[in-house]
Structure 1
Amino acid sequence: MSFILRTSTTRAALCVTQVIKRSAHKKANIQVRLTQPVDGLGLRGQVVSVRPGLMRNFLFPAKKATYISKDYNPEQEEEVIDNAQLEQEKEEALKRREMATKKDEELLHNLKGVYEIKFSRAVIPGSENTFGSVTVEDIVHKLKAEYDITVDKSNIHVKTEGGRIKALGPHLVTLHVGQQITEITVKVEPTA
């Protein structure tokens, strides 16, 4: 009988250690070498620490980074990276950021002239709800058609459930432009 008890306790202890060992690698970051500049991580040739899932699902399949072995020693690097090329890549990344900032400022300036966007929808008899809804795509098309403003639909957030406006009246819609947020009123009116 004591043999059975001893066996079960060692199995339980063994299982716990196996579980700890299995989950330990999921939390640790790994060292990778970037083969291309990646926004938010670094420039080409740099060794950075990333989550295994990011490397496995994004960086490695896109050939933006390579794995580094565990016995990596920075003094024994085979590849010498040209400092002039690194400087050029830094300047290009800085120019891209400046262009994006300039584009965002221009978009914000254009959006300041937009106070309200009107849509007309058929109304369900006896309620404030509409048959059709106003979607983010509708807002993007209306901004392009009436104001000649191009906005990515991922930057528009509707605060109602499902990301659609299904009722009459004014509704606030937020637009994320770079680091700034602006709001536009979307007014849904009944079809005459």
Structure 2
Amino acid sequence: MEIILKEDILGLGYKNDIVNVKSGYGRNYLIPTGKGIIASESAKKVLAENLRQQAHKLAALKLEAEKKAEALKDVSLEISAKVSAKGVTYGSVNVSSVVDALKAKGIDVDRKIITMKDIKTVGEYVATVHFHKEVVVEIPVTVFAENASKPAAAPAKEAPKAEVVEESAE
């Protein structure tokens, strides 16, 4: 079943995309909730005309998304978590943890546009932020044990000082 999306749906497509979905998903979820309409010939013609008229608005949206992406270009996150002796976290580091870490740095991002797997061990991972269908930013996320020093190339004596400075800044 072909559907024209009326809003961005992570994992499926972006607004005004024509996607193929299973009939039940389209009839029982997308259409009743207003997230999509059936892609008939007349609906496709209307969509094409609307896109032609809104081309400059779409360019402005992409430009705005690129500005937001530029703010996140050099950002890397370090998140502390309670960890067992085997290096497994108690609970998990997830999207909301990343959003909180970004807010601590003064960057406000909607959690719905971030994708990543739940992190259950110490290490380095990547969170993906989808600002626009053509503008995607990957943020490196390092998870370390709360009671251990931060992962860094600096000597062990300097790491606790950096930790104290960041805590006082928060």
Q: TM-score normalised to the size of structure 2?
A: 0.55
Aligned residue for 1:122?
82
The separation in 1 between residues aligned to 2:143 and 2:22, in whole angstroms, is 45
The separation in 2 between residues aligned to 1:51 and 1:127, in whole angstroms, is 43
The separation in 2 between residues aligned to 1:142 and 1:165, in whole angstroms, is 15
Tell me: CA distance 1:96–1:141, structure 2 relative to 1, closer, same or farther (3 Å): farther
Q: TM-score normalised to the size of structure 1?
A: 0.50
Aligned residue for 2:134?
179
- What is the number of equivalent residue pairs in this alignment? 130
Tell me: CA distance 1:95–1:53, structure 2 relative to 1, closer, same or farther (3 Å): farther
Q: 2:101 aligns with which of 142, 146, 159?
A: 142
What per-residue deviation string (whole Å, max 9, x for no partner) do you get for residues 114-149 of structure 1? 0x211111111x311111311111112221331323
Runs of 4+ in 1 over 6 A off after TM superposition: none
Matched, 1:101 2:62: yes
What per-residue deviation string (whole Å, max 9, x for no partner) do you get for residues 9-48 of structure 1? xxxxxxxxxxxxxxxxxxxx69xxx9x9x7236xxxxxxx
The separation in 2 between residues aligned to 1:129 and 1:54, in whole angstroms, is 37
Structure 1 unaligned blocks of 5 or more? 1-28, 42-49, 69-73, 75-85, 158-162
Q: Percent of aligned pairs with the same residue? A: 24
Cα RMSD (Å) of the superposition? 4.0
CA contact (8 A) 1:140 1:153 kept: no
The separation in 1 between residues aligned to 2:26 and 2:90, in whole angstroms, is 46
CA drift at 1:164: 0.9
Kindly indicate which of the two structures has a greater share of residues assigned to helix: 1
Aligned residue for 1:132?
91
Larger C-alpha radius of gyration, 1 or 2? 1
Q: Larger relative contact order (C-alpha < 8 A, sep ≥ 6)?
A: 2
